[in-house]
Structure 1
């Protein structure tokens, strides 16, 4: 980030902190405050805002998805891997077609030692979303391996 962008983000952060103090139950204000803290690298400070926005009513669906991904990713960055997996599983359950949520869940699973499940998620994602002709050629085999990595298909 350039110094100007940092300054703008810091000014926005201060404004959102004031808004959140006046409207502590406003889901959208809390979500925006979480996002700006994350952008500034203030992950620990972002967590309470994410948690409040997800527990409050009125958060638009796209923002709810972003909050689940943001909170899960933030927990992972902070080394709170079990909480990251729990949060990202909630996100994948609510938004099963969201490839970003599935990718971040796989990373968090990797951090907890659940390597098989992480690899399975990523292989399924690759098989279903890749436009690479060579991946598409082996899509069936990739999908089968994703179901049982130890099998010899």
Structure 2
């Protein structure tokens, strides 16, 4: 569990219960109510990475991307996120940067995340979109073609896997 401001067991139990209730509200589609509770929790536990991540997430689900950014940044600067939550926060922040037109920041965030979690196809997909937005279309296509060749279950694509992988390296090559 992440740090709280009082350090008491009672406060930690309170934090856990309040966080679970707020996440439950978000999952039940009561996102605005969840946002209000999570903002209050973030004020009460400002250095709690998990609370910050959940607060960022609910802002994103409401289309409040600009408001989500500082919470994502706080979550990633803190300690205590599980690997899944860290991956989710990196994806959320990177895709939010992209959605806000902050393409270079998106490429940096998603590139670092893809290096940290190399088996995550979603990170690579969002990175490819950000690369495209920065004009790095070759890098974007290489990433997507490599991902497609490695993950597609389509038998027609699988039959061309070696060719797709070769073209991914150099789209101008002829075979």
Which of the five TM-score ranges fits, normalised by the shorter chain? over 0.9
Corresponding position: 1:78 with 2:85: no
The structure that has the greater radius of gyration is 2
CA distance in structure 1 between the aligned counterparts of 2:55 and 2:112, rounded to whole angstroms:
21
Q: What stretches of structure 1 move > 6 A for 4+ residues in a row?
A: none
RMSD: 0.9
* Displacement after TM superposition at 1:150 (Å): 1.1
Residue 133 of structure 1: aligned partner: 155
> Displacement, 1:149?
1.0
Post-superposition shift, 1:109? 0.2
2: CA distance, partners of 1:152 / 1:69: 35
Equivalent position SS for 2:118:
coil
- Count of residues paired in the alignment: 148
Counterpart pick for 1:116 among 138, 156, 169? 138
1:150 and 2:172 aligned: yes
Say which of 66, 85, 90 aligns to 1:63: 85
Determine the structure 2 residue equivalent to 1:50.
72
Q: Shift in Å at residue 130 of structure 1?
A: 0.2
Equivalent position of 2:126 in the other structure? 104
Per the normalisation by structure 1, the TM-score is: 0.95
Unaligned runs of 5+ in 1: none
- Distance between the aligned counterparts of 1:150 and 1:68, measured in 2? 33
Unaligned runs of 5+ in 2: 1-27
Q: Can you list the C-alpha shifts for 1:122-149, whole angstroms capped at 9, x where unaligned?
A: 0000000001001011000000000111
TM-score normalized by structure 2?
0.83
